[in-house]
Amino acid sequence: MVDHARTGPVFLRIAREVMHDIRRGRLVPGQRLPGSRTWAAQLGVNRNTVIAAVNELEAQGWVTTSPARGTFVSEALPEELTGPTTRGLAALGVSLPPEPEFLQARPFSLDPGVLHFSAGTPDPRLVPVELLARTWRRVVRRGGRRLLEYGEPGGHPALRRALATLVAERRGVPATPEQVVVTRGSQMALDLLARAVLRPGETVAVEALGYAPAWDALRLAGARLVPVPVDGDGLDVDALERLARKRRLRAVYVTPHHQYPTTVTMSAARRLALLSLARRHGLLIIEDDYDHEFHYEGRPVLPLASADDAGVVASIGTLSKVLAPGLRLGFVIAPTRLAERLVRLRAVMDRQGDHPMEATVAELLEEGELQRHVRKMRGVYRARRDLLVERLEAKLGAVLRVDVPPGGISVWARVTQPLDLEAWLAAARARGVVVHPGARYTFDGHEPGALRLVFARFSEAELTRAVEVLAATLPHGQHRRLQ
């Protein structure tokens, strides 16, 4: 299979997978590879794509080809490249276990000068850096050595208090500071929750269109995942109910406010039904409320945790979208006993977070500075959303349909005409605009014919340029249709 979680031209992805299999020992020197026609059929790609991959592998010395015999893994590869161990560990008699096949998250960096239209981050240029630096210096001077010593693994007490106040006032969640656990971003929050509540082999329901790094965190804890459909009202709770009657579910992971990636909001009726289902079946709801602050039409819908009178919801939040992802600040609001377990696990995993920065952000919250920044960003991001939707309708309305999202930092654009999506996105990438296909967000890897386009991190000029590149790089027939 072609690895859809990775980016780049398909022939390079195929070549990388072959290299990876040789390193792991799944392909051995001298082994014959399938013929190009057979291989193309197996992968579901054009034969020319396979030929390009073989040419790349041969140019780099990984394979050899013979017109009469076929293509073989090179027998001249260095020994350390043809087995499952690395040279240093092998010398000690230690072998690494294989990397889990399901891992989809990959470390990445954002190349300067490239418009990463699918990178779900805010605009770092709008972070109040001077205010943050001044407050940090003031807090550290005042806190002195005490602030630089070991502290509570659940987070700096001032930030736990400030977040408890924030979620009570802004999200309607009646949390105490003891129910707040500060983490290094929402991904650590997910990992901690998975470790705290799951036993290997237990089943967790997830949205069939969703957030792959969350699925990875759950699987690393040993969970078996089952997808549940998503429609215009969010997670299909009736489908979840039918699933719960057939098999024992331990938890469900949902993004009810702005569903990731479709941006739809779970309806009120489904919210109530989900809470009722969780109570009846003893099901933990892991609620990822990742961008609550950025809602543009009316008041934001309150989290599931705000109506949780049975202790069945653990709600995840993040300050990465409010400030910057590099600060690595997230949090969990959980029932008291679960929060205590999370703190103990956090102490083992990471001992504690960055208490000077946590105390700094607590002071910004207490003084209302962070709230003022959020109000400013809400206006900026709403304007960017409106511009992107207008530009997409003007330039790409014949091939994309966008339902204007009520909030969030991205739009979900559905492809309405048959076109070569892979070729289109590859051409756009060559022109400096990176867009991930919808397959990146599906549980089974199928292509839903949609694109996730993030608007928050780009200026209006950058958004305009990105849409113009997408319009200019459409496959030829579609380009004629737009003229």
228 and 180 in a common domain? yes
**CA distance linking residue 273 with residue 259, whole number of Å:** 17
**CA distance linking residue 94 with residue 88, whole number of Å:** 9
304 and 400 in a common domain? no
433 and 301 in a common domain? no
Q: How confident is the model at residue 93 (pLDDT cuts 50, 70, 90)?
A: low
Would 105 be classed as within a structural domain? no
Q: Is the pLDDT of residue 40 over 80?
A: yes
What integer pLDDT is reported at residue 26 of this predicted model? 82
The Cβ-side half-sphere exposure at 27, using a 13 Å CA radius, reads 23
Q: How confident is the model at residue 86 (pLDDT cuts 50, 70, 90)?
A: very low
Would 4 be classed as within a structural domain? no
445 and 355 in a common domain? no
Q: What percent of the chain has pLDDT over 70?
A: 90
Residue with the two structure tokens 């977040």 = 163
**CA distance linking residue 14 with residue 420, whole number of Å:** 18
What integer pLDDT is reported at residue 85 of this predicted model? 45
Please state the φ and ψ torsions of residue 190, each to the nearest 5 degrees. -60, -45
User: Where is pLDDT greater, at 67 or 86?
Assistant: 67
Last residue of a domain, one of 313, 346, 367: 367
Average pLDDT for 437-459: 92
Q: Is the pLDDT of residue 414 over 70?
A: yes
User: Where is pLDDT greater, at 113 or 190?
Assistant: 190
Per-residue pLDDT reduced to its tens digit, 156-167: 999 999 999 999
Last residue of a domain, one of 337, 367, 397: 367
192 and 64 in a common domain? no
Domain count, the chain: 3
What integer pLDDT is reported at residue 482 of this predicted model? 47
328 and 378 in a common domain? no
Q: Is the pLDDT of residue 324 over 60?
A: yes
399 and 326 in a common domain? no
322 and 255 in a common domain? yes
Would 99 be classed as within a structural domain? no
Per-residue pLDDT reduced to its tens digit, 238-268: 999 999 999 999 999 999 999 999 999 999 9
Domain enclosing residue 392, as ranges: 115-124+372-482
Interior angle at CA 145, CA 143 and CA 150, nearest 5: 100
Would 40 be classed as within a structural domain? yes
357 and 295 in a common domain? yes
Per-residue pLDDT reduced to its tens digit, 194-230: 999 999 999 999 999 999 999 999 999 999 999 999 9
Give the CATH number for residue 440. Answer: 3.90.1150.10
Q: Which tokens is 453 given? A: 């386009």
- Closest by CA position to 213, among listed 271, 267, 253: 253
**174-180 LR contacts (CB < 8 Å, sep 24+):** 174/306, 175/305, 175/333, 176/336, 178/336, 178/339, 178/340, 179/333, 179/334, 179/335, 179/336, 179/339, 180/154, 180/155, 180/331, 180/332, 180/333, 180/339
The Cβ of residue 66 has, within 10 Å, a number of other Cβ atoms equal to 8
Give the CATH number for residue 349. Answer: 3.40.640.10
Kindly report the average pLDDT of the chain as a whole number: 88
Last residue of a domain, one of 340, 367, 394: 367
User: Where is pLDDT greater, at 343 or 79?
Assistant: 343
What integer pLDDT is reported at residue 1 of this predicted model? 52
Q: What percent of the chain has pLDDT over 90?
A: 61
User: Where is pLDDT greater, at 480 or 187?
Assistant: 187
Average pLDDT for 407-427: 92
- Determine contact, residues 347/435, Cβ cutoff 8 Å: no
What integer pLDDT is reported at residue 74 of this predicted model? 87
Of the listed ranges 22-26, 109-113, 134-138, the one predicted with least confidence: 109-113
Would 100 be classed as within a structural domain? no
What integer pLDDT is reported at residue 332 of this predicted model? 96
379 and 294 in a common domain? no
384 and 354 in a common domain? no
Give the CATH number for residue 50. Answer: 1.10.10.10
Q: Is the pLDDT of residue 476 over 80?
A: no
153 and 293 in a common domain? yes
Would 101 be classed as within a structural domain? no
Helix axis angle, 47-59 to 36-43, nearest 10°: 110
Rounded to 10 degrees, the C-alpha dihedral 182/318/261/467 comes to -150
- Determine contact, residues 177/164, Cβ cutoff 8 Å: yes
Alpha-carbon distances, residue 292 vs 258, 296, 303, 378, 436 (angstroms): 8, 10, 9, 11, 24
Pairing of strands 433-434, 203-207: unpaired
Would 136 be classed as within a structural domain? yes
Would 271 be classed as within a structural domain? yes
